Amino acid sequence: MADAATARGRGLFVATILTGSFLLFLVEPMIARIALPRLGGAPAVWNSAMLVYQALLLGGYGYAHLLGRVAPRRQGIVHLLVLLAACAFLPIGLSDRVLPAGAEPALWVPYLFVVSIGPLFFAVSAQAPLMQRWFASARPGSDPYALYAASNFGSFAGLLAFPLLVEPLLSVTRQRWLWSAGYLLLIVLVAACARLLPAGREPAREQALDAPPGRARMARWIALGFVPSGMMLATSTFVSTDLVAMPLLWVIPLSLYLLSFSIAFAARRGVADLLTNTAPVTIVLFGGVLMGGFAERATFSAITALILLFMISVALHTQLYRLRPEPARLTGFYLAMSFGGALGGAFAGLIAPTLFDWTWEYPLLIVAAGALVPQTYLTPALRAFWHRRGMIVAGAVLIVGALGIALLVLSRDPTGFREVRHPGVIFTLVALGGLASLGARVPYLLVLTSGLLLFGGIRSLSLSLEPGARVRSYFGVYTVADEARRRTLIHGTTLHGVQLTGTPARERTPTTYYTPDSGVGRVMRAAPTLFGPGARIGVVGLGTGTLACYAQPGQRWRFFEIDPAMVALTRARRFTFVADCAPEATMVLGDARLSLERAPPASLDVLALDAFSSDAVPMHLLTREAFAAYARVLAPHGVLAVHISNRFVNLRPVVAAAARAGGWQALILDHRPSLLQEEETPSSWVVMTRDPWTLALVAGDEGDWKNLVRRPGFTPWTDDYASILPLLTF
């Protein structure tokens, strides 16, 4: 009977910790989805939101740590009161407060998030450390750290549930009520756990037997929390920037990061120890190779990067588990670990995009992981070799010398070091050096650094040193390349534009998705006929400014661009379409939907929506409410051209459903240039208008325009409901 009661008690704590973690990781994307139409997609908004989440999470962990000074039963009473007080903010959602005139968004947005979900997020975030501490008090002698595996499994489930189940099946309104019901269930579970706490008067903290952890041990906890957290965000950025820009890709690194906790803190140690022991080999073998960014084998490279992230996370979190204190001090342990995770997130998500012009945080964190990961010598002979006097220094000199020789002998371009010959030979040398140096930390790090430099580091460094070759913002990395009589702009792995060079005529020639035979090209050529010489043209998404080459004298052009880096590229004349063809064009910085909602009604004749040429889909620009904003800003006979070219998402059903719901008439043109047209890119443009005569003039006599057919049963996206999952094509 006692064993059964113990099992029931453990099951109750597991259920409580699972529920709290599930709700915590469900609320983050949910609130972001609710806020998107109101706040837009500007990076300052979401960077502020991320800081709020991290601050509230740290606050919850700090609260759980301080609560440990109170007798167990009183902890239960206090925490239940906190949970009940937060009920005043149910049902969960975004406050109706409006940005005051003259308010600073970077300060006002965090305030909005705090007053909307702050108390709820704070109360739920304390669940994981607090329930473990309560379990240790209610079941003396039991190991509470295994419950942290359950906590992260709950987080893992909540993270995957939102894009795979919650968003596709439920409207935002129903999501809010579902989360609120889950919160009430959590209160019931916490109350049941509180009843199991002992009635002793002594503070739980006084039960600790070991000495408090010193600064060095706490610094190590912070470092071991910092690197995997930063590596998770850096992997998401690196993979989507240099390998493949796939929708929902951010879910996979974060899922693996959370799953690594479940393995590292599990009661059964076999898997964690096996992965930890093999992690140093994985780091040295794959770390350097990934720096090459093999776009021609993007899927394989992306999988390799995810495996590397998982191995690093398991190894460093296992090291955290090995350094854990006794249960009476676990809240301080989790507070330090959480602080390190917040620092890692701030470094990779906020500092790196402003400090670096490329994803340099990725190789830096790989080296940091190599410095922290536990490792042992491969054989006793190697241990004896590295323990001889002077061998560490001699080995370091040998490795550095080998690196220099490899650069001089194997480089295809001795002046720029852009590529190397015989990558297989270099990989073999790095692999052998890495295996031989396992256990000898300094030589191992030199081998690892050599691999990172040889396979892509020096090539990336040469681009960073080349003036104007690369620009980075919170939206990604832009690389400008001058080739034979052409200049290209690459955004991650997506071609953003091409400008021909050599003569003024070539420099004004529209290329890629915007050629005269493309859908938008035909609209722009028809604009003078449709709207006269003073046509008012708006373009959402500046890119290289290629569409500006259609500008005619007397026309008024406006570009709506969310990324200041793109405007800087045109102003620095790296791409001269705007400067040469539409120098008087107005640049409107900020989220396009919010900017258009502030624009005067009927102030545009043509609006080109070109925010979808990359594989990231700005969902709030494709809802019924967004198309209503476009209709308001367009003249009664105005034309809307929507670019829907995408490698992974079929946007036709979304636009077709929105057109039908809004009373638009729509045609689509799938332009497929011949092989001889090297500067033209396949594109799909939808042209929409509410005037049949205007649509007929745009289509002309050419028969390659097709009716945009709606998908039966497909529900139009709204601010209350949208899901990308049914539209994925890979």
Residue 488 lies in a domain: no
CA distance 497 to 67: 57
**Res 538 pLDDT > 80:** yes
Write the pLDDT tens digit of every residue in 94-139. Answer: 888 776 665 666 677 788 888 889 999 999 999 888 998 898 888 8
Domain ranges, residue 245: 209-375
Region 581-589 average pLDDT: 93
Q: Are residues 150 and 116 in the same domain?
A: yes
Q: Is residue 129 part of a domain?
A: yes
Band (401; pLDDT cuts 50, 70, 90): low
Q: Say if residue 173's pLDDT is above 80.
A: yes
353: preceding bond cis by omega (within 30 degrees): no
Chosen domain end from 465, 497, 523: 465
Listed in sequence order, the residues at least 6 apart from 370 whose beta carbon sits closer than 8 Å to its beta carbon are: 280, 283, 284, 287, 444, 445, 448
Neighbour tally for 424: CB within 10 Å: 8
Q: What is the pLDDT of residue 201?
A: 55
Contact predicate 115/95, CB 8 Å: yes
Tens digits of residue pLDDT in 219-273: 999 999 999 999 998 888 777 665 455 555 677 888 899 899 989 998 888 899 9
Strand pairing report for 470-473 and 665-671: unpaired
Decide: 220 and 339 in contact? Cβ < 8 Å: no
Residues 203, 215, single domain; the answer is no
Dump strand ranges (E) for 613-672: 634-643, 665-671
Query: Of 429, 446, 465, which residue sits at a domain end?
Result: 465
Q: Supply 560's token pair.
A: 């709506």
Does 580 share its domain with 685?
yes
DSSP label at residue 329: G
Assigned domain for 305 exists: yes
Identify which of 507, 478, 466, 442 has the alpha carbon closest to the alpha carbon of residue 569. Answer: 478
What mean pLDDT is predicted for residues 330-348? 89
Q: How buried is residue 533: exposed, middle or buried, by Cβ count under 10 Å (0-12/13-18/19+)? A: exposed
Tokens 């919170």 sit on residue:
474
CA 101/CA 98 separation, integer angstroms: 9
The tens digit of pLDDT for each residue in 634-676 reads 999 999 999 998 877 899 999 999 999 999 999 999 998 876 5
Return the residue matching tokens 């806020």: 35
Angle at 429 between CA 425 and CA 435, to 5 degrees: 145
Name the burial class of residue 589, with classes exposed (0-12), middle (13-18) and buried (19+) by CB atoms within 10 angstroms of its CB. middle
- Characterize 244-273 residue by residue with b for buried, 16 or more Cβ atoms within 10 angstroms of its Cβ, and e for exposed: bbbbebbbbbbbbbbbbbbbbbbeeeeebb
What is the spatial distance between Cα 34 and Cα 48, in angstroms, rounded to a whole number?
Answer: 16
Indicate if the pLDDT at residue 393 is higher than 90.
Answer: no
- Higher pLDDT: 730 or 700? It is 700
Alpha-carbon distances of 67 from 17, 195, 714, rounded to whole Å? 17, 17, 51
Q: What length does the chain have? A: 730
Q: Do the domain assignments include residue 486?
A: no
Lowest mean pLDDT among 114-123, 377-386, 392-401, 613-622: 392-401
Confidence of residue 418 (pLDDT cuts 50, 70, 90): very low
H helical segments located in 269-351:
270-290, 298-322, 330-346
Q: How many domains does the chain have?
A: 4
Please name the residues in contact with 449: beta carbons below 8 A apart, sequence gap of 6 or more.
367
Q: Is the pLDDT of residue 209 over 70?
A: no
Same domain, residue pair 559 and 695:
yes
Amino acid 206: pLDDT: 45
Domain CATH code at residue 148: 1.20.1250.20
Q: Do both 262 and 125 map to the same domain?
A: no
Q: What is the pTM of this model?
A: 0.84
Question: Does 690 lie in the same domain as 541?
Answer: yes
Residue with tokens 């609260």: 63
Residue 1 has pLDDT above 50, yes or no: no
Q: Do the domain assignments include residue 508?
A: no
The pLDDT assigned to 414 comes to 42
CA distance 42 to 589: 10
Please indicate, yes or no, whether residues 16 and 119 belong to a single structural domain of this protein.
yes
Note the pLDDT tens digit of each residue in 471-515: 888 777 888 888 888 999 887 667 788 999 989 999 999 999 999
Q: Which of 3-12, 48-57, 292-301 has maximum average pLDDT?
A: 48-57
